[in-house]
Each structure stands twice: as structure tokens, then as C-alpha cells.
Structure 1
């Protein structure tokens, strides 16, 4: 079981990524943050590697906010094991979010606002279905963004995070239906996981994000 202090977890879990973080901050320091990135067209994620990192940061904000709500108000009938592991997932997502926020520094987008009104947090089925959707989406997002990343250290970082997200997805899937952790809805006949490009990921996530996001400058 991981330590429940998010700040301590954030410091320790990413100690080995310090080199990548330093590189992100150096690159980010050369990018102007234009009025908190908020323009008439929405929060601008930016361009190049910084834009991709802000894209990942936005998704980690979404997942962290969702699991924080789950932990604050556990669904009816939740078992001690489920509660403990979902809390672990929350802490992982918070650590991911805080890492990107710290590393991007002045180039980081603002805190986003979310709309979880469609989720019944008292219902196990509703919470787990949403968790499954978010985790599968997150894995496909990192998979799709990998080819857009130029800096090798950032690609390594993304690989470390997506492997954790895939562990989350497998656990959530098996809570819903045992043995479904790698079924043909996420793994193809070649044994490869699904991938999505940022425009497709953000279109799905938009149903839960109140803040308008401008991804027009992301690499394609």
C-alpha cells in the first residue's frame, strides 16, 4: 500500500525523474504564459513538447479530481479492499498531476474546472464505469501522444506514467468483470493497446471538463 500523504508521494515517486523534470522546466522557461493561457478560444495548451505535457497535465487533473471525489464519498457497499486501492489510485493521479504542474512551472495551464454531474458517486456501477472510461482513455492518450514527443527524456517519462495508468485500467476492468483486463476492446489481434490522438481524447473528455481547452497548437 502506498503512503497516503500526497506531498510525500509526489516527492518520492518522481525522484528518479529529476533529470526529465529539469529539462521540462528549462524548456518551459522559454515559453511565454499568455494571461494564464486563457484566451477567447480557451486555455491554450501550447505547442511542441510543452503543449503535449500540458495535454497530459490536463488529463491528470481530470483523473485526480474524479478519484478525489470518489475517496471523499465512497460508493454504497464499497469493500475495504476496493476503498484502499481506489485511494491508492487517487494518490497516484495526484502525484502525476503535481509532477506536471511543478515541472512545467510558468508554462503550466491553469487549474481546470470539471463537471461530474452525470456521475452517481453513490453507485458502484456508475463510479467504476467512469473510472474504466477515464483509465482506458488515459492509456490511449499517452499511447497516441508518444510519437508526437521530440525529447527522449519526456518519452521515457510518458512511458513510466502510462504503465501505471494501464495497471489502474486493468484493476478497474477486473472489478467490473473478472478477466476483462486485456480484452479485445483495448488490445488488438497483434497484442497492441489502443491509441488515440489528442483531438479525439479531448473530444471524449470534454463531457467532463467545464473549462474550454484550445489544443490547436499541439503537434500533429
Structure 2
């Protein structure tokens, strides 16, 4: 199986032309309850087009409209949360106290994001997803950090690409707050790998902008790390 980093590199080539402050989980979830609980989840219709979702047209249906985009984000946060939970449950060989603390913070952020979307979606939330991390060596620092970097970069590009598809202003506001945290994670992981690389040219383009990917592009990369099949054929595209 190709690594997540290799899949990202291939997709970027094909396209040719996507933590210093600790976030307390309890306060984040309190905000989620106050800011979103009163907002109705209304799905906007979207035609199915299986031809545009190769390999992503069977399995757990993410839904359409804003519901679909929230479930899309929820699926990605499940994946990231599970990854960092595994990292902390069995830290890699030689991990320092500082790195363990930082990665624990990231785990807590990702789990908070996951629970936020689960609560916001309520009965409309997809099921818990089964992951496949068989290609990751959790005992090896390079394997863990390389995968973390790829996951974080993928997450940033996912939120950037999905923003224009969100119709409800409150959801867009919260998505903006989450993607900024994901970008902090990405910068930190990059610096753990190579000091000073937090915003190099592989992350930020000549215009000073992060990359963006469509949900289909993101899920095509991420599906290698999911045992559960995802049906993204009803997601909005514009």
C-alpha cells in the first residue's frame, strides 16, 4: 500500500495547475453546544453522479448539502482522532517528554473536533468508522511524523476546499476556526520533522496561500486508511 504522503504527492502532480496554545476540550464542546445546538440542520438537494465519484459511490452515505459536508468533516476528524489516539496509546521509540505532550495536545484537539461534529449533526451523523493503519509503524518516529504531516496537510486542504460548499454561515464560521487549528498542527509537525519548515514552499504557495482540495480528491486519498467504505456521491460540488 502506498503511504499517505506518496498518495498526496501523486495527486498534486496530477493536478499541476492542497501548537503553542492548548485548546481545552471541555470549553470547546461547551462552545459547540451553545453555538450550534440551536441551528437547524437542513440538507440541500444534490443530484447523484456516480461517474464523478469513482470508488466513492457505495458504503456509508455522507448525505447532501450542509449535512453532507459536516459528515465529510466528521469522517476526517474520526480518522485523525483515531490516528493520534493510537500514537499516544503506544508512543514511538525514543519519544521525548516534550513531543509526547505536544502530540497529546493534538490528539485532544482532534477528539474535540470529532465530538463537535457528532453533536452538531445529532441524528444525522454517520456511524463510527473503522480505520486501517496497517501501513503505519507506530513504533517508528519517522513513520508516525510523516503520516501526521500528511494527515494535517490533507485536513487543511480539505477544509479550504469545502468552505465554498457550506451554505449556513454559522457552520462556515466554525469551519474557519477549526481549519486554523489544523494549520497550527501542520506547522508544528513540520517543525518536528525539520526545524524551520513550518511554512515552506510545499505547504504555502507563492501567493502566501495554503492549498485546497475537493471532497472527492481528499476522500480518494483518505480511503486507503479506512476499512469502512464511504459514499460521497451526494455531496455538493458547487
**TM-score normalised to the size of structure 2?**
0.82
Task: Name 1:171's counterpart in structure 2.
Answer: 188
Equivalences for residues 1-220 of structure 1 within 5 A: 2=22, 9-24=24-39, 26-27=40-41, 41-220=58-237
Aligned residues: 206
Structure 1 position 184, deviation (Å): 1.1
How far 1:129 moved relative to its partner?
0.3
Residue 207 of structure 1 aligns to a residue whose secondary structure is: helix
Give the C-alpha shift of residue 22 in structure 1.
Answer: 1.9
Q: What is the alpha-carbon distance in structure 2 between the residues aligned to residue 49 and residue 20 of structure 1?
A: 16
Distance 1:189-1:19 versus aligned 2 partners, 3 A rule: same
Say which SS state the counterpart of residue 208 (structure 2) adopts.
coil
Distance 2:200 2:152 in 1: 14
Runs (5+) with no aligned partner, structure 2: 1-20, 46-56
For normalisation by structure 1, the TM-score amounts to 0.89
- Alpha carbons 1:29, 1:107 under 8 Å: kept: no
Supply the RMSD in Å over aligned alpha carbons: 2.0
Task: Determine if contact 1:141/1:195 at 8 Å carries over to the other structure.
Answer: yes
Which secondary structure state, in structure 2, belongs to the residue aligned with residue 206 of structure 1? helix
Tell me the alpha carbon deviations over residues 83-126 of structure 1, each in whole angstroms, 9 at most, x when there is no partner: 01100100000000011111101000000000000000000000
Partners in 2 of 1:11 and 1:28 — Cα distance? 27
Higher relative contact order (CA 8 A, sep 6+): 2
